[in-house]
A and B are shown apart, each in its own frame.
Chain A
Amino acid sequence: MAKSTKKATRSTTNASLFDDVNKPVVLSPQDERTLEKIYNLAANITAQAERDDEPVFAIPARSLGNVSFNEEKRVLQMGSKTTNRELFNLSQAKSFMQTTLVASGAKRLLEMGKTTSIRGLYYMLKHDIKPTKEPTFHDQGECDPVIEDCEVLLEALREELHLFADKRGDMVGNIVIVDSGDEIDCSKMGSGGYAIPSIVEPSVIQFKECRADFVLHVEKNTVWQRFNEDKFWKKHNCILTHGNGQPPRGVRRLLNRLHNELRLPIYCLLDNDPWGYYIYSVVKQGSINLAYESERMATPDAKFIGLRSRDFERCGLSEGVKISLSDVDRKRAKQIAEYPWFVHKKDWQREIDTMLKNGFKLEVEALVSRSISYMTEEYVPRLLREGDFLD
């Protein structure tokens, strides 16, 4: 009995899914652009088949080898290398099929004016290939890279395909925004803050009013809570964000917009370890995976205010906060020092060098060992006042 009910509900959802297709949805110009790209992709397959050519996609390579640092724009840029995905190639036939499936799934979402998580899309497209029992996707791990392929192939952000990733990251501060028509005053968000959505494009979020002078981006939620509770943003008239570690695209895109559209400086408070350096690098220069969108995702002017290798002594922290560097940490640190955007910066070389010499790393929370609000009342204000940060 229970089984049949389940089945029934499932089929109704399916039916409503198709009902929506028939309802007229007003497409935004952005959506139309994306739809046309998907259309072209499909038209290309048919055209190749008609010419008796083997259908093939040229997918820009998402590898370190195909990424370069643009000195002028100071962001990571994707090269022109592509990898071919051929239908009539045994090892690529299935992923070719999956790529067309993802494209058709995105098309349906766009047409319906709906967005879904990448997990949702995976479920939308998962079915058995008749007459076999082979599923179109075995698990989400098989689907996610294909979505990324589609993004680069269509030169469209995941968000433009009406897909979102998990929400991760909050914001408070002296700014009023409009999110999907709702006006949100980020200075009145209580202790929880405004959760930054995955899609923060101007079509979804508009900045209504901003009184803040700068943005302080901290690494994780715990630190953000400390700053919010101490009402740091009120005292210093700023916006406070975090990205729960490596910031998701929504947060990165929002930082980019806050900087470019509102001319707000971005300051990052991250751990004094290779991972912290890497987060800074992603915020500042972009990531390899999203190199094709660096100009929209990266904020080259972002500054690194802490924690610094010198802080253990300078701030008089207690011995117990030291965390010894592992071999992986050392290796990672050396790699980061070789990044083209760090390699010519003496300050950064000295910073990384000092950490390696110290032999330990520090988390932002280490500052609590001085006093609970040391970071909000003394550490950050002093650095901001002195303009003492790394670029």
Chain B
Amino acid sequence: MAKAQKEISVSEFFAKNRHLLGFDNPRKALLTTVKEAVDNSLDACEEAGILPEIWVKIDRVAENRFRVSVQDAGPGIEPRQIPLIYGKLLYGSKFHRLRMSRGQQGIGISAAGMYGLLTTGKPLEVLSKTSVRRPITYYVVRIDSKTNTPEVLNGDGDGEKIPANDEGRALLAERALDWVDVVSGTRVTIELEAKYQRGRGSVDEYLEQTALANPHATFHYVDPDGKYVQYEASVSELPPEPIEIQPHPYGVELGKLLEMTRETNKSSMRKFLTESFCRVSPAIANAICEKAGVSNRANPKTLDRETVAKVFDAISATKIPAPSCDCVVPIGESNILAGLRKIVPGEFFVAATRPPAVYRGNPFQVEVGLAYGGGPSIQKITRESLQEMLAESDARTIRQFLVASFDGIGADGADKIIKSAKIRPRVSPPKMSPREFEALLKTLQTLNLSEGQTTSVYRYSNRVPLQFQASACAITQTIMQMNWRLYGVQQTRGQLPRGPITIMAHFASVWAPYTSESKEALAAYPEIQRELRLALQTVGRKLGLFLKRRERVKQEGSRRAVFMRYLPEIADAVAEINRGAFAERLTAERAAKRVRLELEPREGENTARARAATPEEIATAIKRSQSSGDIYMKLLAVANRKTALADVRYDDSGNKIDPNAEEKDELDGDSSVYIVSQE
């Protein structure tokens, strides 16, 4: 038995339990690989203060084999570090510090390399360049899963140097190595067994959502079919750099505290407490020591377990200020609005960023964006897939094609699309003119076919999209627990609200509490749920205001249509009554009786003088009384004023354009709201 006992290396453990890292199936493996590489690139760029630009390329090597390469224009990596970063699990710069970043443990990219090695036998390749004149370092790295150590396979274990000149370029071409010419940067290539599929949980979706949460980053993406997509940065400034903080005493567990006391090099308890933790002043340190019955001069290393436990209890009994929150950097309301507008063809956008809060001593911040309108599922259709579908369709008319091919359109929706795209309703799909095809594509991508959809939720943690385990995530749970009917949205109790709603929620923290190592769902800490709820309530309330106002405008519009229909009849009838000798006589009599005041300059002052109507004036009065057009215009003026609400239009920042509008509500002038003009 004792002989069978043996140390297990982490890499061995994860090779057997790959699902823990997000490699449960071939499809997810592809996504996780891309994700780990992109997350690393983004972190590297931001830490170096470089606006991220990232190239993602997926090549299909065989039916179930793909080569993923991700390059950034980041700072590059010191050659010595490369094998360790890419060939050793749990090696990284992010685990031991408390600073907001995408990666945390240092498992991701090496695990991806290990997965590739396991499934294809091909090692991972890294190209890296740290400055203009430096050569590109080329490494082929393999992880030895038994010992969790890297093995460099090229250049006798030292890698190769490719000079940064034409000679080097020729060398790259010769070795068939892809490299985007950048001043500095890193490119990692992994070949793995995987499956490429569009739609939910796909690489495409991940990149799109990442672009949404990182408006300062530019992405270039070439998918396995050779299609190129670019997400241009919409912000030209890096988000403020997150500040690294010491742990807060409240967030430390007893075991961790024990470990810290053993490892510290501080000579006294007071020094240990004030310098290893944030928010601990000498006074607070003294108070803790006093409560624990420990001298503040005691050497932390000499304390036994019981004493440390006393210190731990003393910490919870002492009032310590909340950690400072400049260590978390939100995306920001205006960036969320801009990002959502890029992706969702909605009518109403709103964002809310909560002030920072603390859970278990970890500062965090919650942001929520909401878009209303648009139909995400059909709207994501691409030119190619539409072309393909049209070619394959056996529907006789385009209307039939639309109804049969897409979920949730229905006959009404199809008619709406056809009408809006101005295509011939009975045209057979293959016989559409190029103009009609373009119009259809554009309409499908932009037309709002609301109602009957359920909310799409984009979840983010530290700007990384969470694409799986939606129901286990605190964000989804909080959305479902809320009563959205309060805001005029349909909802079955305990479900996601129904309607053309897209919610984006971002959780930013120095330490995100994931439910598993694959970082797919946030744990539902009460403090986190509370902040989420407050943010959702803020955007929900504004959505409610918008929906109410839209309903009112709609009603006014249909009311006006009713009035408009009858006004000409009324004008005709009134004009008819005013016709004929008898009516003319009355009109003339009354026009004559009406006193006219005329201003007359007399002795430098204007004096009003009454005078009788002239024959011309009387004739005009008769003529006007009998003109149904004249009467119509008069009635129209009243009708327009009466239904003025229907005329209200909004400019880009959601302000009413009409300066005379009497009604103002909270949405006006709110910078966290964007309303698309319905013109």
Binding site for B on A (CB under 8 A): 21, 24, 27, 32, 35-36, 38-39, 41-43, 45-46, 48-50, 52-55, 87-88, 90, 93-94, 96-97, 100-101, 103-104, 107-108, 111, 129-130, 132, 134, 136
Is A45 touching B642 in the complex (CB atoms < 8 A)? no
**6 pairs of residues in contact across A and B, judged by CB atoms under 8 Å:** A43-B578, A46-B574, A96-B570, A104-B573, A129-B568, A136-B569
Which of B568, B583, B637 has its CB near the most chain A CB atoms (within 10 A)?
Answer: B583
Partner of A111, one of B569, B580, B639: B580
B588-625 at interface with A (beta carbon < 8 Å): 590, 625
Knowing A36-B586, A93-B566, say if A52 contacts B638 (CB, 8 Å): yes
Binding site for A on B (CB under 8 A): 559, 562-563, 565-566, 568-570, 572-574, 576-578, 580-583, 586, 590, 625, 631, 634-635, 637-639, 641-643
Q: Which residue of B lies closest to A86 (CB)?
A: B642
Knowing A103-B577, A104-B577, A129-B565, say if A39 contacts B570 (CB, 8 Å): no
Give bound CA distance, A49 to B628, whole Å: 13
Is B573 touching A35 in the complex (CB atoms < 8 A)? no
A residues within 8 A CB of B569?
A: 97, 100-101, 129, 136
Is A39 touching B574 in the complex (CB atoms < 8 A)? no
B residues within 8 A CB of A104?
A: 572-574, 576-577
Give bound CA distance, A94 to B561, whole Å: 12
Closest Cβ–Cβ distance, residue A242 to chain B (whole Å)? 39
Q: Which residue of A lies closest to B634 (CB)?
A: A49
Give bound CA distance, A108 to B625, whole Å: 17
Q: Which residue of A lies closest to B630 (CB)?
A: A46
B residues within 8 A CB of A21?
A: 580
Closest Cβ–Cβ distance, residue A56 to chain B (whole Å)? 11
Give bound CA distance, A41 to B495, whole Å: 59
Is A100 touching B582 in the complex (CB atoms < 8 A)? no
Q: Which residue of A lies closest to B572 (CB)?
A: A104
Partner of A49, one of B572, B576, B583, B638: B638
Partner of A87, one of B570, B581, B590: B570
A residues within 8 A CB of B631?
A: 45-46, 49
Is B566 touching A129 in the complex (CB atoms < 8 A)? yes
B residues within 8 A CB of A27?
A: 582
A residues within 8 A CB of B563?
A: 87-88, 93
Closest Cβ–Cβ distance, residue B639 to chain A (whole Å)? 7
Partner of A52, one of B573, B641, B643: B641
B residues within 8 A CB of A46?
A: 574, 625, 631, 634
Give bound CA distance, A281 to B408, whole Å: 66
Q: Which residue of B lies closest to A52 (CB)?
A: B638
B residues within 8 A CB of A52?
A: 637-638, 641
Which of A46, A94, A96, A136 has its CB near the most chain B CB atoms (within 10 A)?
Answer: A46
Is B573 touching A103 in the complex (CB atoms < 8 A)? yes
Is A100 touching B573 in the complex (CB atoms < 8 A)? yes
Q: Which residue of B lies closest to A35 (CB)?
A: B582
Knowing A52-B641, A88-B638, A108-B576, say if A45 contacts B570 (CB, 8 Å): yes
Closest Cβ–Cβ distance, residue A142 to chain B (whole Å)? 14
Closest Cβ–Cβ distance, residue A155 to chain B (whole Å)? 17
A residues within 8 A CB of B639?
A: 88
Q: Which residue of B lies closest to A101 (CB)?
A: B573
Is A94 touching B577 in the complex (CB atoms < 8 A)? no
A residues within 8 A CB of B559?
A: 90
Is A35 touching B638 in the complex (CB atoms < 8 A)? no
Knowing A49-B634, A88-B639, say if A39 contacts B566 (CB, 8 Å): no
User: A100-B570, A104-B572, A104-B577 provided; 8 other pairs, C-beta below 8 A?
Assistant: A36-B586, A42-B578, A46-B631, A53-B638, A55-B635, A93-B563, A107-B576, A107-B580
B residues within 8 A CB of A129?
A: 565-566, 568-569
Which of B563, B566, B572, B578 has its CB near the most chain A CB atoms (within 10 A)?
Answer: B566
Closest Cβ–Cβ distance, residue B574 to chain A (whole Å)? 5
Knowing A88-B639, A132-B565, A134-B565, say if A107 contacts B577 (CB, 8 Å): yes
Give bound CA distance, A90 to B643, whole Å: 12
B residues within 8 A CB of A48?
A: 638
Closest Cβ–Cβ distance, residue B246 to chain A (whole Å)? 67
Partner of A35, one of B565, B583, B634, B642: B583
B residues within 8 A CB of A136?
A: 569
Closest Cβ–Cβ distance, residue A228 to chain B (whole Å)? 44
Partner of A54, one of B573, B576, B577, B638: B638
Is B580 touching A55 in the complex (CB atoms < 8 A)? no
A residues within 8 A CB of B642?
A: 54, 88
Give bound CA distance, A132 to B570, whole Å: 15
Is B582 touching A111 in the complex (CB atoms < 8 A)? yes
A residues within 8 A CB of B582?
A: 27, 32, 35, 39, 111
Which of B569, B578, B581, B634 has its CB near the most chain A CB atoms (within 10 A)?
Answer: B569
Give bound CA distance, A36 to B578, whole Å: 10
Is B637 touching A42 in the complex (CB atoms < 8 A)? no
Give bound CA distance, A132 to B566, whole Å: 11
Give bound CA distance, A87 to B567, whole Å: 9
Which of A36, A42, A50, A94 has its CB near the most chain B CB atoms (within 10 A)?
Answer: A42
Which of A55, A88, A136 has its CB near the most chain B CB atoms (within 10 A)?
Answer: A88
Q: Which residue of B lies closest to A31 (CB)?
A: B582
Closest Cβ–Cβ distance, residue B149 to chain A (whole Å)? 80
Q: Which residue of B lies closest to A95 (CB)?
A: B566
Give bound CA distance, A24 to B563, whole Å: 37
Closest Cβ–Cβ distance, residue B359 to chain A (whole Å)? 53
A residues within 8 A CB of B581?
A: 24
Is B577 touching A55 in the complex (CB atoms < 8 A)? no
Which of B565, B577, B580 has its CB near the most chain A CB atoms (within 10 A)?
Answer: B577
B residues within 8 A CB of A24?
A: 581
Partner of B638, one of A55, A90, A96, A108: A55
Is B573 touching A49 in the complex (CB atoms < 8 A)? no
Give bound CA distance, A87 to B641, whole Å: 13
Closest Cβ–Cβ distance, residue B326 to chain A (whole Å)? 57
B residues within 8 A CB of A97?
A: 566, 569-570, 573
Which of A24, A41, A45 has its CB near the most chain B CB atoms (within 10 A)?
Answer: A45
A residues within 8 A CB of B566?
A: 87, 93-94, 96-97, 129
Q: Which residue of A lies closest to B578 (CB)?
A: A42
A residues within 8 A CB of B590?
A: 43
Give bound CA distance, A93 to B642, whole Å: 13
Give bound CA distance, A33 to B573, whole Å: 19
Partner of A42, one of B568, B574, B638: B574
Partner of B577, one of A42, A88, A90, A134: A42
Give bound CA distance, A316 to B634, whole Å: 74
Closest Cβ–Cβ distance, residue B280 to chain A (whole Å)? 69
Knowing A93-B563, A97-B566, say if A87 contacts B635 (CB, 8 Å): yes
Q: Which 3 A-B pairs have the closest CB atoms?
A: A104-B573, A42-B577, A100-B573
Closest Cβ–Cβ distance, residue B635 to chain A (whole Å)? 5
Give bound CA distance, A36 to B582, whole Å: 8
B residues within 8 A CB of A90?
A: 559, 562
Give bound CA distance, A42 to B631, whole Å: 10
Closest Cβ–Cβ distance, residue B66 to chain A (whole Å)? 61
Closest Cβ–Cβ distance, residue A89 to chain B (whole Å)? 9
A residues within 8 A CB of B643?
A: 88
Q: Which residue of A lies closest to B636 (CB)?
A: A49
Q: Which residue of A lies closest to B590 (CB)?
A: A43
Give bound CA distance, A42 to B568, whole Å: 14
Give bound CA distance, A87 to B642, whole Å: 11
Closest Cβ–Cβ distance, residue B51 to chain A (whole Å)? 57
Closest Cβ–Cβ distance, residue B584 to chain A (whole Å)? 10
B residues within 8 A CB of A108?
A: 576
Give bound CA distance, A242 to B580, whole Å: 41
Closest Cβ–Cβ distance, residue A194 to chain B (whole Å)? 34
Which of A48, A53, A100, A101 has its CB near the most chain B CB atoms (within 10 A)?
Answer: A100
Is A45 touching B638 in the complex (CB atoms < 8 A)? no
Q: Which residue of A lies closest to B558 (CB)?
A: A90
Which of B573, B578, B625 has its CB near the most chain A CB atoms (within 10 A)?
Answer: B573
A residues within 8 A CB of B586?
A: 36, 39
Give bound CA distance, A53 to B573, whole Å: 19
